[in-house]
Amino acid sequence: MRLKLADFGLALLRNLNDLAQDEAQHHRSWCAPECLLDTETMIEVESFMRSDIFSYGLVLHYMLTGSMERREEQKAPEPPQNLGKGPLKDLYDSCLRLGSEERPTAAEIINKKFQVHTTNPYTVTLQTAEFFTFGFLKDTQIVVADSLVDESLVDSCGSRRPQGYPSECLSCVVEIDKDECDQCPELLGSELFQTYCQRHDEWRVAEKIENNANIALKGLTTRREGEDEEQRVVLKFAQATYAHHRAMRDVWEGLDENTKTQFLPCKTSVHPVFSTSFGLHVAVITADQIFLFTRRSMKDGIASPGDFTCGAVESCSVKDYDETRGDKTYVELIKTAARGLNEELGVVLKGKDLDAICLTTVYLKYDKHEWGMCGFVDLSDERIAPERRLTYASIQSRFTGASCKDKFEHELIKGVPFELDKMADFVRENFHNFASSTKLVVVKVMQSFFGVSEVEKIFKAFDSSS
């Protein structure tokens, strides 16, 4: 994560004499001493910037103590007793010096203070900084663009049910009147565009595929709203074709790493041409608390044949459209998730059941440039009708029966007790044979239920023992 703070200038520029007493005191609480001497006097730029550093020190104080006490104007706050010694203490003291010229600049803080004990996140390259890694799960080509999973989702007793993105974030507008090739010549260049055209024609006439319409991600923004700062994600889509997706994927896979970085200097950005698909990966925890893994079939056309995946993997398509709301078309991501669970595992959810589907994380499979969202459904959830709270044995019988349309994609189904140590053991023994996004999905679900710190602890223990 990258924590960014801005802008303290508002606290300095307000004329405190024009504010009500309580509001004026609020602004004073975040101001440097020199800004409180005479609010009518203009401050020189250099002093103004050093005043910001004092305000940053006050933010550090608040983060360490959880309180912002009223203080005398010519004094810094009393440092926390448990601060101890080290880089954080040095940073805290230097930012809260009364003389503005004695404080460090922002550049000095970034380039020196943060490098005392760890890697500075602002100076590492994007190529090495953003790929998903966790404990011994290294060398992935998965980038986490946004995730709701953090320690706050589980209370001290581990009893709080994790939550995903609000339902309104998962009903997204789709543009369907654009030619998917419109921007290819301009953004790819003539040589790559020729490659694209060749591959597009080959995929369009391939006998093993249907050139159906699919959904391409075209916009991704994140924000926090309301007094509780509820985290939301805004996704925008366009309609494309399967041949377009495969042709653009072929072009991307043929690029060297330097060229990929030029096209996508920030991996969490949505590229207007290479972003040609969007899928869901929904893990399943059965009503008797078994986590479902499946092994992919060794057949032509199957992605990652022979590898383990988990739950259901499904691409968004026109089957998930809602065209009943005026002149715009929407794709319902929960509908996609439900369709995948039904077709791949015979898990049928409908009506209020769908509220139990929890989507938490948006990611990019960088090696193939395919966007997706992952989450889970816990079939013991009381929001699911009792008759549809399936056990592992029930799902296994459906999987081997006739109720799963896509069962040819999998050769077996494997259940692991959904307990922290047993899940970690299975991951450690089998992660070499996990399909692309499975490592990420499994870790995110474990974090959601067992807590980020506990999952990190057990994976680090495995890492050090190996």
Give the DSSP per-residue string, 64-131. HHS------TTSPPPPPGGG-SSHHHHHHHHHT-SSGGGSPPHHHHHHTGGGTTS--TTTS-HHHHSB
Average pLDDT over residues 153-160: 50
* CA gap 247, 36 in Å, rounded: 62
How far apart are the C-alpha atoms of 349 and 379, rounded to whole Å?
Answer: 10
CB neighbours of 59 closer than 8 A, spacing ≥ 6?
A: 5, 30
Task: Mark 31-57 as b/e (b = at least 16 C-beta within 10 Å).
Answer: bbbbbeeebeeebeeeebebbbbbbbb
- Give pLDDT tens digits for 24-42: 566 677 788 887 765 555 5
Q: pLDDT value at position 185? A: 66
Angle value at C-alpha 281, between 154 and 394, nearest 5 degrees: 85
Question: In a 3-state reduction of DSSP, which class is residue 149?
Answer: coil
Residue with tokens 């319409």: 213
pLDDT of residue 227: 65
% pLDDT > 70, the chain: 76
Q: In the predicted model, what is the mean pLDDT of residues 301-313?
A: 74
- Output the pLDDT for position 63: 86
Residue 305 has pLDDT above 60, yes or no: no
Q: Kindly indicate whether the domain formed by 142-464 is annotated with CATH number 3.90.79.10.
A: yes
For residue 301, what pLDDT is reported?
53
Flag whether pLDDT at 126 surpasses 50.
no
Please answer whether residues 448 and 164 qualify as being in contact, where contact means their C-beta atoms are separated by less than 8 angstroms.
no
- The closest alpha carbon to 311, from 333, 294, 287, 336, belongs to 294
Give the pLDDT of residue 127: 43
Confidence check: pLDDT of 306 > 80 = no
Q: How does residue 447 score in pLDDT terms, banded at 50, 70 and 90? A: very high
Phi-psi category of residue 135: left, alpha or beta, with phi > 0 → left and psi -120 to 50 → alpha: left
Question: Angle at Cα 203 formed by Cα 201 and Cα 206, nearest 5°?
Answer: 110
Q: What is the pLDDT of residue 157?
A: 47
Tokens of 396: 């296994």
Average pLDDT value for residue range 445-456: 91
pLDDT greater than 90 at residue 349: yes
Has residue 122 got a pLDDT over 50? no
Cα gap 45→28, rounded to integer Å: 20
Q: What is the pLDDT of residue 9?
A: 53
Q: Identify which of 312, 317, 426, 319 has the alpha carbon closest to the alpha carbon of residue 374.
A: 312
How large is the average pLDDT for residues 358-379? 95
Mean pLDDT value of segment 312-330: 86
| Cis? peptide before 139, omega within 30° of 0 | no
pLDDT of 121 > 50? The answer is no
State the pLDDT confidence band at 460, using cuts at 50, 70 and 90.
confident
* Domain ranges, ordered by start, for the chain: 33-115, 142-464
pLDDT in tens, 178-192: 555 556 766 788 889
Spatial separation of the C-alpha atoms in residues 65 and 159, rounded to whole Å: 27
- Better-predicted residue by pLDDT, 401 or 171: 171
pLDDT of residue 403: 55
206-246 pLDDT tens trace: 766 778 888 999 999 887 766 666 778 899 999 988 889 99
Mean pLDDT of 159-177: 83
pLDDT in tens, 89-110: 889 999 999 988 899 988 888 7
State how far the Cα of 440 lies from the Cα of 420, in Å rounded to an integer. Answer: 16
Q: What is the pLDDT of residue 436?
A: 82
